[in-house]
Amino acid sequence: MRKELKSVVISELTEKIGQSSFFYLADSSSLPVSKINKLRRICFEKGIDMQVVKNTLVRKAMEAQENPDQYKPLFESLHGPTTILFTDVAKLPANVIKDFRGKDERPILKAAYIDAGIYIGDDQLDVLANLKSKEELLGEIIGLLQSPAKNVISGLKSGGSKIAGILKTLEERAN
């Protein structure tokens, strides 16, 4: 690869890494071309940007970030063939990898960067697949906050109808 092309790739990767809160590093080597193409198609359909990259270029792109120290734990994962998966949904690539694998051993998760959290190793795949999205967490919090309020309101409503019923009965007895 020529030096000019390398600098273009590094700048593109630097921009993507800087803009992405979530990305995965995987090893999809030894998969036949047909399976790689199938994985690319699945990633494209799900909105995941998949690129096969040179480790040195990814490392230089990480080192070019504002806070390069946050990426240092990922450097040890940058050996052998590397595929980088950029996404807007933290757990989506983990689910794609798990579903795609089936009986195969590939692709293997090398590492993942999730909102400044670093997950290293293929054994972290289940943890990543079970992460809750921001929307799911907000929904749970709203549900928890609504529950006590609903109980208070229903208590007030039922209490009011009981009082009204008692007053109506007393009024009927008085007449």
Q: What are phi and psi of 116, to 5 degrees?
A: 70, 0
Does residue 163 surpass a pLDDT of 80?
no
pLDDT for residue 42: 94
85 shares a domain with 75: yes
pLDDT of residue 155: 61
Structural domain count of the chain: 2
Question: Which candidate, 59, 99, 61, 106, places its Cα nearest to that of 79?
Answer: 59
For residues 111 and 84, state if they share a domain: yes
Residues 84, 164 within the same domain: no
Would the pLDDT of 75 be above 90?
yes
89-136 pLDDT, tens digit per residue, is 889 999 999 999 877 788 999 999 998 889 999 999 989 988 887 778
pLDDT digits (tens, 9 = 90+) for 10-63: 999 999 999 998 999 999 888 889 999 999 999 999 999 999 999 999 999 999
- What is the pLDDT at residue 79? 92
**Rounded distance between C-alpha atoms, residue 29 and residue 22, angstroms:** 22
Judgement on whether residues 115 and 173 belong to the same structural domain of the protein: no
In b/e form, how buried is each residue of 93-104, taking b as 16+ CB within 10 angstroms?
bbbbbeebeeee
- The Cα 9–Cα 40 span in angstroms is 19
Which domain does 47 fall in, by range?
3-131
Indicate whether this model's pTM tops 0.95.
no
Co-location of 123 and 155 in the same domain:
no
Judgement on whether residues 91 and 125 belong to the same structural domain of the protein: yes
Token pair belonging to 91: 């757990």
Residue scoring higher pLDDT (162 or 108): 108
Tell me the β-bridge partners of 27: 108
Tell whether 93 and 25 lie within a shared domain: yes
Same domain, 45 and 116: yes
Do 120 and 173 reside in the same domain of the chain?
Answer: no
Give the domain CATH number at 38. 3.30.70.1730
Is pLDDT above 80 for 150? Answer: no
Q: Are residues 36 and 79 in the same domain?
A: yes
Task: Check whether residue 12 and residue 47 sit in a common domain.
Answer: yes
Tell me the CA distances in angstroms from 110 to 52, 80, 85, 123, 162, one per residue in order. 13, 10, 11, 9, 63
